[in-house]
Amino acid sequence: MAKKPLRKRRWGWLVWLVILGVAGGLGVRAMKRRPVKAIDVSVHRVETGSVRDLVSTVAAGRVAAEREATLRAEIAGTVLRVHKRRGDRVAEGEVLLEYDVRDLRDRVSAARAAVSLSRAQIEQARASAAVARRNALRAVDLRDRGVGTAAEAENLEGSAGVAERAAGVAEVGASQALANVRVAETALRRGVLRAPFAGIVLTRTIEQGEVTAPGAPLFTLADPSRLHVDADLDEADLGRVRVGLRAEVVLDAFQGQRFAGTLSEIAPSVTRDLRGNRSISCRFDLQPDERLRVGMSAEVDVIVATRESVLWVPPNAVMGRGIDRSVYVVDAQNTARRRAIGIGVSTWEAIEVTSGLRAGDRVITTLSNNELADGSIVRARAAETAPTRSVQR
């Protein structure tokens, strides 16, 4: 009679174990049937195209004019009239500014009067010298005939020499007076400031009535018909570039547009900044464009070479460094699979793929998603990742 309760307990445990096993199996099956949340990603479909090898400037450059000058005051004086202001176009020789030149005219008149006086003094000195010379010759003749004395002849000879030297001094004075006239006339001409070349007034730092000192800046003038960009390339890229290569210029004022340029000059020396970085200054000629302004900030890409008919992907699709590069490829089941690739030319706009991908493969470009991993289920949408190469010519 004592063994019956023991059997009941054993059978009870078995029943509970069966129930727990069935419940666990159903739970696992339910977990497997639960849909996995897909990760939203942007993809780029691999295609064949051209990839350009670019060398970019190390810092923003500046749009400058072929002819650009700061015009400074050449005389001290009071400004009487200012004819041009910032933004005005001027022709070569056109008047920009006039000084009050009344005192300069007076100086010219005084200098010319001094010339007249000097010339009169020369005539007087020459006449005196001629009289003294005739008297000396007469005294010598009288001495030779025994009528006059030797002392008198010598005195008259000396007087003649002094008179002739005085005439020479008067001539030197006349030359000095003529030089003073030229100086005064030059100062008078500088009382009118004219444009040395045709262009646009960039800045004006003077107003009517102001008094200037020699060397004070008055205007900045530039000829916008021929513009270029002055910018620096890294010393390490010097061996890859040469004069004549095409370039593309990006301006902050016109984002999304690229202006055509040409590498026209490479500096003969390399410069070093305070951090020890070495760069070389270059000049890039621009095509005429009325939208361009002197002083604009500009980034430049030099087109070193172009690879045609190659597979390429956008830079934001590639992971890794050096030769260890990979991408996430979306397969037919919308699963992200990490795949190693080989690369060729690599720039900010496109990366050439030499191995690991085929045309039509879909690569993920939104690698910033922390949930993305090898084997992740994704929901793909197309991304506009084609390089922008619209060049303004």
Same-domain pairing of 181 and 199: no
Same-domain pairing of 370 and 312: yes
Q: What is the mean pLDDT of residues 72-96?
A: 90
- Residue 324, in any domain of the structure: yes
Lowest mean pLDDT of 49-53, 176-180, 283-287, 385-389, name the range. 385-389
- Most distant CA pair in the chain: distance in Å? 197
Q: What is the mean pLDDT of residues 355-363?
A: 91
Q: Which two tokens stand for residue 162?
A: 């002094």
Q: What is the mean pLDDT of residues 13-42?
A: 64
- Residue 29, in any domain of the structure: no
Q: Is pLDDT larger for residue 369 or for residue 389?
A: 369
Same-domain pairing of 95 and 205: yes
Model pLDDT, residue 391: 46
Model pLDDT, residue 177: 67
pLDDT at 13 over 80: no
**Mean pLDDT score of the chain:** 80
- Strands 319-321, 77-82: pairing is unpaired
Task: Give percent above pLDDT 90 in the chain.
Answer: 30
- Residue 274, in any domain of the structure: yes
Centroid of chain to Cα 166: 63
- Residue 378 belongs to domain with CATH number: 2.40.420.20
**In the Cβ-directed half-sphere of 370, how many Cα atoms lie within 13 Å?**
0
Task: Give percent above pLDDT 70 in the chain.
Answer: 69
pTM for this prediction: 0.64
Domain that holds residue 246: 61-66+222-305
Same-domain pairing of 45 and 88: no
C-beta separation of 104 from 188 below 8 A: yes
Same-domain pairing of 380 and 247: no
- Residue 203 belongs to domain with CATH number: 2.40.50.100
Q: What is the pLDDT of residues 214-232, one digit of tens each?
A: 999 999 999 988 899 999 9
> How many independent structural domains does the chain possess?
4
Same-domain pairing of 381 and 345: yes
Q: What is the mean pLDDT of residues 135-153?
A: 61
Same-domain pairing of 106 and 185: yes
DSSP string covering 53-114: EEEE-SS-EEEEEEEEEEEE-SS-EEEEEE---TT-EE-TT-EEEEE--HHHHHHHHHHHHH
Q: 305, 338, 369 — which closes off a domain? A: 305
What pLDDT band is residue 23 in, cutting at 50, 70 and 90? low
Q: 305, 326, 355 — which closes off a domain? A: 305
Q: 275, 305, 335 — which closes off a domain? A: 305
- Residue 14, in any domain of the structure: no
AA letter at 229: V
Model pLDDT, residue 371: 83
